[in-house]
Amino acid sequence: MEAEQTEIPEVLLIKPAVYGDERGYFKETFHQQRYSELGIERNFVQDNVSFSSRGVLRGLHYQWPNPQGKLLYVLQGEIFDVAVDIRADSPTFGRWVGRFLSSENHHQLWIPEGFAHGFLVTSDTALITYKCTDLYHPADEGCVQWDDPAIGIDWPLDRIEGAPSLSGKDQQGKSLADSALKI
């Protein structure tokens, strides 16, 4: 397993070892001791699965005051996955990291607590799974505007047809300034 720091040091791109042959492949998606050695010393309490079609953009979601760290990877398809630092007192406040995750590259993204998270599906469909460090609390959920010019995410919109497909909730996302977390 390899891990790379991204432009925001707390966000890690993890490349699990994949053992394959003509029959298929095997990979370990989580091993507490190995991930702890990377600095991910968290107790994961909930696993989620998300299925979406090309052009679906989910996010940018966060929870407060019960934030969730997320370890995310793609089981089928490809997404452009994004983490935005929304911790008001952070030296990387308002900065974002984006990486392509796919069932072909097997990469994972570790997104710690205090970040907004979103993704754009760039394949026909995508099946995503993620481990969370806290339970989902509907009353704590917030959403940052996916195209907030203060953040300036360079979404790969050339990989979809037309505008991204957003939920009603995601269409109502707030600005970065209105979403900053006082941690």
Please list the residues that pair with 174 across neighbouring strands.
144
Residues annotated as catalytic are 61, 130
| CATH hierarchy code of domain 2-179 | 2.60.120.10
Specify the pLDDT at position 148. 98
Q: pLDDT-based confidence at 183, cuts 50/70/90?
A: low
Specify the pLDDT at position 74. 98
Q: C-alpha dihedral over 34, 38, 5, 69, to 10 degrees?
A: 90
| pLDDT mean over 11-29 | 96
- SS3 state of residue 80: strand
Closest Cα partner for 29 from 97, 83, 110? 110
Specify the pLDDT at position 164. 98
Phi, psi of 2 (to 5 degrees): -120, 155
Give me the percent of the chain exceeding a pLDDT of 90.
Answer: 98
Phi, psi of 94 (to 5 degrees): 85, -5
pLDDT (tens digit per residue) in 100-134:
999 999 999 999 999 999 999 999 999 999 999 99
Structure tokens at 123: 């394949």
Specify the pLDDT at position 172. 96
Could you give the CA distance from residue 172 to residue 166 in angstroms, rounded to a whole number? Answer: 10
* pTM more than 0.85: yes
Domain boundaries, the chain: 2-179
